[in-house]
Amino acid sequence: MTDIATRVWNHKWKIDPIVRSLIDTDFYKLLMCQSVFRNKPDTQVTFSLINRSKHIRLADLVDEGELREQLDHIRSLSLSRGESTWMRGNTFYGKRQMFTPEFMDWFEKLRLPPYHLEKVDGQYELTFQGSWPEVMLWEIPALAVLMELRGRAVLGTMGRFEMEILYARAKTRVWEKVEALRGVDNLAIAIADFGTRRRHSFLWQDWCVQAMSEGLGDNFVGTSNCLIAKERDLAAIGTNAHELPMVYAALAPDDAALRQAPYDVLADWQAEHDGNLRIILPDTYGTAGFLKGAPDWLTNWTGIRVDSGDPATGAEMAINWWKSRGEDPTKKLVIFSDGLDVDKIIELQTQFAGRCRVSFGWGTMLTNDFKGLTPDESLAPFSLVCKAISANGNPTVKLSDNPNKAMGPAEEIARYKRVFGVGEQEKVEVVV
What is the CATH classification number for the domain harbouring 182?
Answer: 3.20.140.10
Q: What is the pLDDT of residues 288-313, one digit of tens each?
A: 999 999 999 999 999 999 999 999 99
Q: How sure is the predictor about 7, in pLDDT bands with cuts at 50, 70 and 90?
A: confident
Mean pLDDT of the region 254-280: 96
Q: How sure is the predictor about 432, in pLDDT bands with cuts at 50, 70 and 90?
A: low
Residue 222 lies in a domain: yes
| Residues in the chain, total | 432
Mean pLDDT of the region 186-191: 80
Mean pLDDT of the region 191-199: 96
Mean pLDDT of the region 18-27: 97
What is the pLDDT of the chain when averaged over all its residues? Answer: 94
Distance CA 116, CA 318 (A): 41
**Nearest CA among 383, 385, 415, 384 for reference residue 397:** 415
- Coil, helix or strand for 357? strand
Residue 376 lies in a domain: no
Q: What is the pLDDT of residues 317-360, one digit of tens each?
A: 999 999 999 999 999 999 999 999 999 999 999 999 999 999 99
Within 13 A of 416's CA, how many CA atoms are on the CB side? 27
Strand order of the sheet with strand 394-395?
116-120, 123-131, 44-51, 384-391, 394-395
pLDDT value for 11: 64
* Same-domain check for residues 207 and 324: yes
User: In total, how many domains does the chain have?
Assistant: 2
Distance CA 374, CA 159 (A): 13
Distance CA 62, CA 59 (A): 5
Residue 430 lies in a domain: no
Strand (E) positions, 95-214?
Answer: 95-96, 116-120, 123-131, 191-193
Candidate from 47-51, 130-134, 182-186 with smallest mean pLDDT = 182-186
Residue 372 lies in a domain: no
Residue with the bigger pLDDT between 188 and 244: it is: 244
Specify whether the CB–CB gap between 268 and 239 falls below 8 A.
no
Roughly how many angstroms between the first and final C-alpha of the chain, as a whole number? Answer: 29
* Same-domain check for residues 102 and 181: no
* Same-domain check for residues 235 and 272: yes
* Same-domain check for residues 180 and 43: no
pLDDT value for 10: 73
Mean pLDDT of the region 125-143: 98
Instruction: Using DSSP bridges, classify how beta strands 279-280 and 303-306 pair: parallel, antiparallel or unpaired.
Output: parallel
Beta bridge partners of residue 279, listed in sequence order: 303
What's the predicted TM-score (pTM) here? 0.95
Distance CA 418, CA 412 (A): 10
Distance CA 429, CA 432 (A): 9
Q: What is the pLDDT of residues 205-254, one digit of tens each?
A: 999 999 999 999 999 999 999 999 999 999 999 999 999 999 999 999 99
Specify whether the CB–CB gap between 285 and 422 falls below 8 A.
yes
The parent domain of residue 128 ranges over: 4-157+384-420
Residue 207 lies in a domain: yes
* Same-domain check for residues 142 and 244: no
Candidate from 141-145, 153-157, 313-317 with smallest mean pLDDT = 153-157
Distance CA 81, CA 378 (A): 40
Residue 101 lies in a domain: yes
- Residue type present at position 32: M
* Same-domain check for residues 279 and 392: no
* Same-domain check for residues 215 and 111: no
pLDDT value for 12: 56
Taking phi first (over 0 means left), then psi (-120 to 50 degrees means alpha), and beta for anything else, what does residue 275 get? left
Specify whether the CB–CB gap between 190 and 217 falls below 8 A.
no
pLDDT value at 185 more than 80:
no
* Same-domain check for residues 175 and 313: yes
pLDDT value for 362: 97
* Same-domain check for residues 86 and 186: no
Residue 180 lies in a domain: yes
- Coil, helix or strand for 295? coil
pLDDT value for 423: 84
Taking phi first (over 0 means left), then psi (-120 to 50 degrees means alpha), and beta for anything else, what does residue 185 get? beta
Q: Considering Cα of 401, then 386, then 371, then 184, what sign does the dihedral take?
A: positive
* Same-domain check for residues 270 and 340: yes
**Nearest CA among 425, 148, 187, 240 for reference residue 314:** 425
* Cβ atoms within 10 Å of 169's Cβ, excluding its own: 12
Residue 428 lies in a domain: no
As a whole-number percent, the residues of the chain with pLDDT over 70 amount to: 97
* Same-domain check for residues 281 and 254: yes
The DSSP element (H or E) to which 333 belongs, if any, is strand 333-336
* Same-domain check for residues 74 and 18: yes
Specify whether the CB–CB gap between 74 and 282 falls below 8 A.
no
